Amino acid sequence: MKAPFKWLAAALAVVITAALGACSDNRPPVSIGLITKQETNRYWVTLRKVAEDSARKAGATLTAATGSSDVDVESQRTALKEMVDKGVDGILIAPTNSTALATDIQAARDKGIAVIALDTPMEPQETTNAYFGTDNRRAGELIGRYARAKIDEFGLSPQIMMLNLSPGITSGENRNTGFQEGFGVQADSGWVVDQANVEGDQGLAQQAMTEALTKHPDINVVYAVNEPAAQGAVTALKSADKNLSKVVVVTIDGGCEAMKNSVRPGDIDATAMQFPQNMAREGVEAIVAKVREGREPSGYLATGTELVTGSPAPGVTSKNVEYGVRTCWGG
């Protein structure tokens, strides 16, 4: 049974899913809050849907809230307070800022509510009981190593455009660091010719890429923090009549839309797949185990990442696009 959509605050939508059979057995009831970043990106929709399905199977009740963008802190703060007032047993949150919500999360924990960060860790990570998500530094390293191998294969001197997330979001910062480490960027190399914070937004990425190309027309490597940003970059490159076969575009996500329409035809050269379904399922199961078995969630659970490409690079282990299409998320 699903209650009608209701609004807690501007751009904050809340859906309440009552678990099937929750009242028909003798298991202790479990109430879980889920707070994602937005509903425009299929990544977050997938995470929410899997969490709802996992809650139903466990006989738990899930309250899901989302903001308007990857940087919408205030909506998440409102949702946290509402869920604490509601008295949920645990909260799963993908923080829009890795430090700004620390006081609100601590207020929940002070009331005995377990808080697990999904996708994006808090800083420090111990702000939450646990963190379940991609090893973002490793994901960045995978695409960095790939991009370096391809640019060496082409015999080109690197000119890199970095399309970053936003300051204060640890997942994006770790991806950036991992990419530069994997590529072998040195502080004095001069290889990074431009960068912009695009909030994972396709339109902002297209605009930033267009502006970068006017200043640096010979950009030949594009790091994009996620697939929407990568697709925005590809649109800008095509509009500028760039030869995509000589520009290496790499990113992180693993969604079906980009896998089928951008990675398979080669517009995006490689993506490091994430598995949001694992984050959601493990998060729900951890809160259920806390209530019914007394097991407190703690530590870090890596939920997996795989490099997927239709154009393998020398010396870099990867999966093919067929694997990506079979295992992608978001339909």
Instruction: Tell me the per-residue pLDDT of 81-119, one tens digit each, with 9 for 90 and over.
Output: 999 999 999 999 999 999 999 999 999 999 999 999 999
Q: Determine, yes or no, domain membership for 21.
A: yes
pLDDT of 207: 99
Phi, psi angle pair for 101, to nearest 5°: -100, 10
Reported pTM:
0.91
Q: What percent of the chain has pLDDT over 90?
A: 91
CA angle 152-270-72, nearest 5°?
Answer: 125
Token pair for 128 = 């939450």
**Contacts of 57 by beta carbon, 8 Å cutoff, 6+ apart:** none
66 and 190 housed in the same domain:
no
116 and 219 housed in the same domain:
no
77 and 26 housed in the same domain:
yes
pLDDT of 14: 44
Taking the C-alpha atoms of residue 206 and residue 203, their distance in angstroms, rounded to an integer, is 5
Q: Determine, yes or no, domain membership for 76.
A: yes
Token pair for 183 = 């590529």
151 and 84 housed in the same domain:
no
Q: Determine, yes or no, domain membership for 1.
A: no
pLDDT of 12: 43
How would DSSP label each residue in 90-146? Answer: EEEE--SSTTTTHHHHHHHHHTT-EEEEESS--SSGGGSSEEEE--HHHHHHHHHHH
More confident: 45 or 20: 45
Residue 28: other Cβ atoms inside 10 A: 12
pLDDT of 15: 44
Residue 8: other Cβ atoms inside 10 A: 15
State the DSSP H helix or E strand holding residue 86, giving kind and residue range, or none if neither. Answer: helix 73-86
* Predicted confidence (pLDDT) at residue 9 exceeds the cutoff of 90: no
The number of folded domains in the chain is 2
Mean pLDDT, range 191-212, rounded to an integer: 98
Burial code (b: 16+ CB inside 10 Å, e: under 16) for 59-69 equals bbbbbbbbbbb
pLDDT of 285: 99
What CATH number does the domain containing 266 carry?
3.40.50.2300
**Cβ-count burial of 147 within 10 angstroms (0-12 exposed, 13-18 middle, 19+ buried)?**
buried
CA angle 197-74-84, nearest 5°?
Answer: 135
257 and 148 housed in the same domain:
yes
In this predicted model, what pLDDT tens digit does every residue of 281-320 receive, in sequence order? 999 999 999 999 999 999 999 999 999 999 999 999 999 9
pLDDT of 26: 85
140 and 251 housed in the same domain:
yes
User: Predicted confidence band at 23 (pLDDT cuts at 50, 70, 90)?
Assistant: very low
248 and 189 housed in the same domain:
yes
118 and 217 housed in the same domain:
no
Taking the C-alpha atoms of residue 67 and residue 70, their distance in angstroms, rounded to an integer, is 8
User: Predicted confidence band at 19 (pLDDT cuts at 50, 70, 90)?
Assistant: very low
- Domain residues for the domain of 185 are 136-273+306-327
Taking the C-alpha atoms of residue 50 and residue 40, their distance in angstroms, rounded to an integer, is 16
Mean pLDDT, range 177-185, rounded to an integer: 99
pLDDT of 17: 45
Q: Determine, yes or no, domain membership for 45.
A: yes
* Predicted confidence (pLDDT) at residue 5 exceeds the cutoff of 80: no
